[in-house]
Amino acid sequence: MRAFAPGSVTAIFAPAGSGDESMGASFTVADGITADVRPAESATRTESAVVLDGEPADFAPVEIALRELGLADDASVELTVEIPIGRGFGASGAATLATALAANAEFGLDRTREQLVEVAHRAEVEAGTGLGDVFVQQMGGLVLGDGTTRWRFDRDDPIEYASFGSIATEDALADDDLMARIEREGTAALDALPDEPSMADVTCEGWTFAQAVDLPTDEVREAVADVEAAGGVASMAMVGETVFAVGVEGVLANRTAVSPDGAHLADE
């Protein structure tokens, strides 16, 4: 059974509550990850339960999700990836959520969608790869959240992006000084958004936030300046050395769009 989860880009975030949740402003993109889950005995199973673009891979949150679903020894997962990994597109969350949805259908686990989202979320937290990506990826569109409630807005803006490198999410989340700045500046940026923000609103506040927490590299700053010179607005994906932009065409290397669709089974 196959399931698809869109990639997601977080423009602004801050930890909330116990630290296992986050508040923020994020959006899904049309590109994502497809997970093909099969019984282990009927799939090519090597030393890993996970195959990434044809090669065995260690993918901790996916493996944790399989364990939580009672399928650690029974399932194999083949991931087909359309988004950069480790560069702020929520790839680990998309892979884990798609795996949970596909595994539930393939093995007849009869879990609700909410339960599967929670399994994927807990797997990400345990692996240290994310705090809230899967909640956005299951909804689609532009999503604002305060840690307990999430508001979804239909958006379909074209998005351009360029990726220059990776920033380890687990390292960022483990940096107490950085997370203290993120909590302070992220809360302020979210408070500054209008009640029904446009993608330009989110991008502008996202850039203010990124600069305030001192994450942009020189390459990121140069790319944002190029977008602004062309009349658009740009910011940095959280957390990755990636610039995303709205309001321009042909400035950055890649082009996609905000996706209104959340994660879903691909074989229906």
Spatial CA neighbour of 261 closest among 1, 79, 35, 7: 7
Q: Which domain holds residue 48?
A: 1-268
Is the pLDDT confidence value at 16 over 80? no
Q: Work out how many domains the chain is built from and give that number.
A: 1
Q: Which residue has the higher pLDDT, 104 or 21?
A: 104
Whole-number Å distance between alpha carbons of 108 and 111: 8
Is the pLDDT confidence value at 42 over 90? no
Q: Count helices and strands (H / E) in the chain.
A: 8, 12
Q: Give the pLDDT score at 22.
A: 78
Residue 18 sits in a domain of what CATH number?
Answer: 3.30.230.10
Q: How large is the average pLDDT for residues 63-92?
A: 94
Contact yes or no for 192/180 (Cβ under 8 A): no
Which amino acid, residue 165?
G
Q: Which residue has the higher pLDDT, 28 or 47?
A: 28
Q: pLDDT tens digits, residue range 122-175?
A: 999 999 888 789 999 999 999 999 888 999 999 999 999 999 987 666 677 677
Mean pLDDT of the chain: 92
Residue 46: band (very low, low, confident or very high) from pLDDT cuts 50, 70, 90: low
Residue 195: band (very low, low, confident or very high) from pLDDT cuts 50, 70, 90: very high
Whether the model clears a pTM of 0.85, i.e. scores above it, the answer is yes
Q: Give the pLDDT score at 32.
A: 97
Q: How large is the average pLDDT for residues 25-46?
A: 85
Q: How large is the average pLDDT for residues 203-225?
A: 96
Q: Give the pLDDT score at 101.
A: 98
Least confident window among 58-72, 122-136, 182-196, 228-242:
122-136
Q: Give the pLDDT score at 222.
A: 98
Q: Which residues contact 117 (CB under 8 A, 6 or more apart)?
A: 97, 100, 134, 135, 138
